[in-house]
């Protein structure tokens, strides 16, 4: 599969401005971001790329900061080679160790996850994934049924399975993510995870104890009513993929409208993960 790599460089940019730009790119389908010396690179699969959409997304930042960008076609295997050169193991909450297949085993950690991303979003390094993993490490997920929406590499569902979740469904509308989640489940010997390719339309007509949704604000706002329908009374939803302002308030209002009550949230830099309860 071919991908498009758009590499941005900046003379000067505030961190919040870069975060807003990344969020705007995510809204039009870019799903992987990598820091560079003078900015960052954003990746999107070839068939989803639109120069018109990119130009329109950039218009909202006109005059806010100076930037230049290049667009390059890139093969998946070349991207994965670059990823392997730069990926460092990660420790979450002193108890979960995330590594690639080429890193050494570290059995001293209570939970160890092996991830081979294959262009799929979710190695734990992004703030949103880190906070969602922190929530999973804190939550009583043992024995729970769990839905992981926008699963990316499957890392959240895999961690929940390692913590004792009994029934897991992971969904992503990107075929690369779908295949990556299946592969990573096998790498971690997770046998009770069902991976589906699609969006809200493929959510099984069953009730879940916990829902994990690390996507982006616009998709969450669209899908919150559907999540509520398949969540058990008293069940919890963990959301991430958005900013504290103005996104968190919008998420709160959408949840309140469908009997989902805000409990608390985590914040790393400007990114937020939030917990809600049904009923």
CATH of the domain at 101: 3.40.50.150
Same domain? 76 vs 93: no
As for how many domains the chain has, the answer is 2
DSSP state of 111: E
pTM as predicted: 0.79
Same domain? 29 vs 131: no
Residue 131 has pLDDT above 60, yes or no: yes
Q: What is the CA radius of gyration of the chain?
A: 18
Among the residue ranges 131-140, 175-184, 256-265, the one predicted with the least confidence is 175-184
Q: Are 96 and 108 in contact (CB under 8 A)?
A: no
What is residue 118's predicted lDDT score, i.e. its pLDDT? 65
**Cα–Cα dist 8/71, whole Å:** 9
Could you tell me the residue range of the domain that residue 105 belongs to?
A: 88-278
Same domain? 158 vs 33: no
How far is residue 83 CA from its own chain's centroid?
17
Same domain? 237 vs 181: yes
Same domain? 16 vs 122: no
Residue 103 has pLDDT above 90, yes or no: no
Region 120-132: what's the mean pLDDT? 80
Same domain? 217 vs 262: yes
**Cα–Cα dist 119/5, whole Å:** 11
219-271 pLDDT tens trace: 899 999 999 999 999 999 999 988 888 899 999 999 999 999 999 999 998 88
What is residue 225's predicted lDDT score, i.e. its pLDDT? 96
Q: Which pair of structure tokens corresponds to residue 160?
A: 């929940």
């Amino acid at each position: 599969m071919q991908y498009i790599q758009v590499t941005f460089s900046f003379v000067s940019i505030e961190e919040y401005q870069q975060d807003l730009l990344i969020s705007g790119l995510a809204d039009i389908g870019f799903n992987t971001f990598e820091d560079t010396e003078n900015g960052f690179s954003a990746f999107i699969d070839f068939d989803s790329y639109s120069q018109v959409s990119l130009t329109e997304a950039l218009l909202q930042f006109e005059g806010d900061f100076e930037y230049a960008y290049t667009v390059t076609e890139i093969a998946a295997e070349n991207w994965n080679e670059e990823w392997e050169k730069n990926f460092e193991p990660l420790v979450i909450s002193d108890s979960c160790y995330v590594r690639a297949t080429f890193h050494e085993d570290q059995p001293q950690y209570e939970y160890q996850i092996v991830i081979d991303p294959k262009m799929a979003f979710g190695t734990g390094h992004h703030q949103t994934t880190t906070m969602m993993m922190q929530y999973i490490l804190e939550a009583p997920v043992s024995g729970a049924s769990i839905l992981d929406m926008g699963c990316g590499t499957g890392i959240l569902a895999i961690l929940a399975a390692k913590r004792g979740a009994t029934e897991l469904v992971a969904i992503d509308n990107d075929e690369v993510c779908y295949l990556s989640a299946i592969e990573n489940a096998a790498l971690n010997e997770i046998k009770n995870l069902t991976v589906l390719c699609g969006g809200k339309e493929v959510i099984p007509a069953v009730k879940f104890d916990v829902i994990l949704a690390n996507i982006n604000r616009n998709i969450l706002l669209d899908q919150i009513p559907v999540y509520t329908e398949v969540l058990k009374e008293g069940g919890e939803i963990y959301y991430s993929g958005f900013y504290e302002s103005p996104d968190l308030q919008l998420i709160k209002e959408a949840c309140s409208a469908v009997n989902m009550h805000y409990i608390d949230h985590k914040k790393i830099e400007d990114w937020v993960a939030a917990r809600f309860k049904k009923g």
